[in-house]
Amino acid sequence: MFLPQEIIRTKRNGGNLSLAQIQDFVSGLVTGEFNDAQVGSMAMAIYQQGMSTDEIVNLTMAMKNSGDVLTWDELDGPVIDKHSTGGVGDKVSFMLAAIVGACGAYVPMISGRGLGHTGGTSDKLESIAGFNVQPSIELFKKTVKELRIAIISQTDNLAPADKRLYSIRDVTATVESIPLITASILSKKLSAGLDALVMDVKYGNGAMMSSMDDASALAQSIVNVANGAGVNTQAIITDMNQVLGTTAGNALEIYETVKYLTGKQREPRLHAVVLSLAKAMLINAQIATDEKDALERINNVLDSGSAAELFETMIYTLGGPIDLLDNPWGAMQKANHIVEILAPEHGYISAMQTRDIGMAIVAMKGGRLANGQPIDHSVGFDRILPVGTLLNRGDIVARVHASSESEAKLASKTYLDSLTISESEPEPTPVIYQTIS
C-alpha cells in the first residue's frame, strides 16, 4: 500500500506510475483514503506531466473495475454507444440514441454531468420533471432490453472511482487532460459492456481540445485504449467553434431535441453531426452495410416518427411525462426573464467565442461552480444565429433566458462580447474534420 502523497510525488516529478500505484489511487478514490485535496493534487500532477499509454490503460481498467461491469448476454443484437468530449449546445446524444435504437441496435448510454463550461447530458435530462437519471441497474437493463435505449447518469456502482474523480476535475481546472479524459470516458463505457463505441471528439474554442493537434491526440488515445480493451471504437472529430444547434442550456436543449426528432427544426450543422455519428454507429454495429444504407435507415426512422416515439417512451419509462413530444414545456420550467439580444451593428457574424457563452450559462447557475452545487435548468440561450449570418443593426442574434433582470443583462453583454461582427463574409468552416479508426 502506497501513501497518497508518495503516489502524487511520483507523478508530480514526472515518473511513470506502476500498476500497483494506480490501483492504490483508484482504490483510494472509492474508499476516501485519498481526500479531496489529494485527488485534486493528483489530477493536477497528471494534467501537467501526462501519462504513458500503459498508464492510461491501467487507470482506465482500474476505474472500470472499481464497480459493477454490465453484461448483455440476453440481448439479441449489437450493443453500441456514442460519447462526446463535450461542448456548448451539444444535445446530440438524445437524437443518436433514439435513431440508432429505432434502427435496431441496443444503446445503454451512461452519461455525465456538466464539466467546466460544457453542458452535461444527465443535467439536461433532469430538466424534465420526474425523470430518474439514476435508476437501479435492474431497471436500466430492463429498459434497454425492452426499448433498446436508456440514457442514465453514472450510478454509485458503475465506475464509482471515475464518478468522484470527474466531479473534482470539474472544479480544479484539470478537465482538459487527455489521459484523464480518456480514462474517464472509457471506464464508464467499458463498464457498460459495449460491443462498439463511436466517439465525438470536439475541436475548437468551445471544446476541451482547442487545437486540432490536441483533438487528434485525444481521439487517437481513446481509439488505442478502447480497441486494446476489445471494444471496436472509432472517433470522429467535429467542430465546436460555435454553439451546436440553436440552443444552449439544459431545458432549452431538450426542447430543441423534441423539435429535431419531430422534424419541426433541424439546424444544418447539428443535423450534419447527428447524421455522421449515426451512420458510423449503424455501420460499426453491422446493422447497415455502408453509408448509403445507413442514411436510408436513419431517414426512415426520422420520417416515420419512430425515433421520436422511442425517445418519448424512454422518458416516460424512466419517470418523465407521457406526452413530452406534444407538450415539452408541461414538464420543464421556463426562465423568469427572456430577453432578446440585439445586434449592435451591421455585418456578418464572423466568429464566436463559444467557451464564453458556456461560462455565461454557468454564471447563471446553469452549470456548477462548486462540486455538488444545484443548477437552474431553465437558464441559457436560444434562437442562436450561426457564424456567417448577415445582420442588420437591431436584429435578434439570440435570446437569453435568466432568473433575474440583472443576470439577463450581464449574460446579454457576455454574449455580445463573444461575437465578432465583420464587414466581410467569413469562409465557411467544416462541421466534420476527421475520422480515426
Q: Which residues are catalytically annotated?
A: 81-84, 121, 169, 184, 188-189
- In whole angstroms, give the CA distance from residue 158 to residue 81: 16
CA distance 382 to 339: 10
CB atoms within 10 A of CB 212: 13
